[in-house]
Amino acid sequence: MDRLQADRCLEVARELRAAAEETRRTLQASRDLVRRSREQTAAGPSTGRKDEDPGPSNQLVTSLIDAYEASEDDPDTQTRLLLGRVLHHVGRRVAGLMGPRAAGIAVH
């Protein structure tokens, strides 16, 4: 392997490590959002409008988290990255429905 190929492999490895770290943070945020959503559901009916999107189901979120964790054993890194992006999208959707205060995000 020549120097150029070695440098490219190192660059790809760094990018994958950064993507994995971002996905790990997204996964943790998604878990926190699911937990808060369950707590809100247990506390009683929401005060939101009925024509609003109810958001993804707990089963969907939990299944995505499980799929993402299971993808650790898959040799195809694209699968894990794709699942991470889907989980990130769903997490943002949940966060948008809950609002920043309920999601624990400080807004100035």
Is residue 94 very low, low, confident or very high in pLDDT (cuts 50, 70, 90)?
confident
Lookup: tokens for 43:
């506390």
Per-residue pLDDT at 50: 45
Per-residue pLDDT at 31: 83
Per-residue pLDDT at 11: 92
| Segments making up each domain of the chain, as ranges | 3-43+56-98
Element (H, E) at 36: helix 3-43
Residue 26 contacts residue 88 (beta carbons within 8 Å): yes
Neighbouring CB atoms inside 10 A of 61's CB total 22
Check whether 103 has a pLDDT greater than 80: no
Tens digits of residue pLDDT in 35-80: 887 777 777 655 554 456 678 888 888 898 999 999 988 888 899 9
